Amino acid sequence: MTTSKGRIGFIGVGTMGRHLVHNLIKGNYEVFVYDKKQEALDYVAAFGAKPVETLKQLVEVSETIFVSVLTDDQVKSVIAGEGGLLEYATPEKLIVINSSVNPQTVLSMADLAIKKGINVIDAPMSGGEPGAIDGTLTFMVGSNDKQLFERIRPILDCIGSNIFYVGPTGSGEAIKLANNLMALCNNLIALEAVKLAKGYGISEEQLMEVAHLSTGNSFIVENWDYFGNMMQTHSLAGTKDVYTFLTKDIKLAVESANAIELFLPIGGLCWQLSEAELEARDKSNRESGRIYDSPYTTQPV
């Protein structure tokens, strides 16, 4: 019988988390999981994860705890809320935030934790569900103590293929938001380009063929169905929340810039436009699941 490499706690086993947990188990880690959705726990339990009922139990049985929830409020709740990790964690525990959140959220959690001698670092990921399934995600780690990065490096190697130490605590989130700001703003302007082309009788396919070989090429052009597929396969598919999810990193990027007195005029405009487009969506667009038939391409009302 092979000895486990270590005990990992994992909070949030949805679209991304369930695949990360699966790969950690295949990498011979013992993984304890917490999620408010029973069906999510049942899913990961089927391939060997060990569900727990409370965060207190998770802390007791885990050495390193990963937080992979959707929002800043959820991160704050599971770490510093009533019954959260900081009520029970001891100095030898390490809390790692995988969620895409405001760097200020990470810094506030780290400040609260250090008062108890507990370390909180950030390691957001990029690569979407395909990368989570294949174990090829990119991780961007921020930690004031590089030794903590070295501590989690073997774990991240089980679930990612590109692992970066990018600087002090919070900088992982900052670089993730900067990356996503480029991608999401590029996506919005690409959709406007499709509108323009169609207005002159040019098909979407023709535009993409030309852009692919021209200066308009980008990750968005090369992976034109990336967001459309996400809208169809994400755990939030079919709800307003999936659109909010797809635009939240623009909002977070602008808010995180404001927090340090930086002005992002183009990012701010893209945030405003995406929010307006959300309000304009209709039922047929929600059901279609096509990014270019989505609220992004309807006229604001």
Burial 2-35 (b: 16+ CB within 10 A, else e): eeeeeebbbbbbbbbbbbbbbbbbebebbbbbbb
Q: Are 208 and 221 in contact (CB under 8 A)?
A: yes
Q: Directed axis angle between helix 103-114 and helix 240-259, to 10°?
A: 70
Of 50, 176, 248, 251, which residue is the catalytic one?
Answer: 176
Between the CA of residue 90 and those of 48, 95, 219, what are the distances in Å? 26, 11, 43
Q: Are 212 and 180 in contact (CB under 8 A)?
A: no
Q: Are strands 94-97 and 7-11 parallel, antiparallel or unpaired?
A: unpaired
Q: φ and ψ at 171, to 5 degrees? A: -75, -20
Q: How many CA atoms lie within 13 A of 217 on its CB side?
A: 7
Residue 251 appears among annotated catalytic residues = no
Task: Catalogue the active-site residues.
Answer: 176
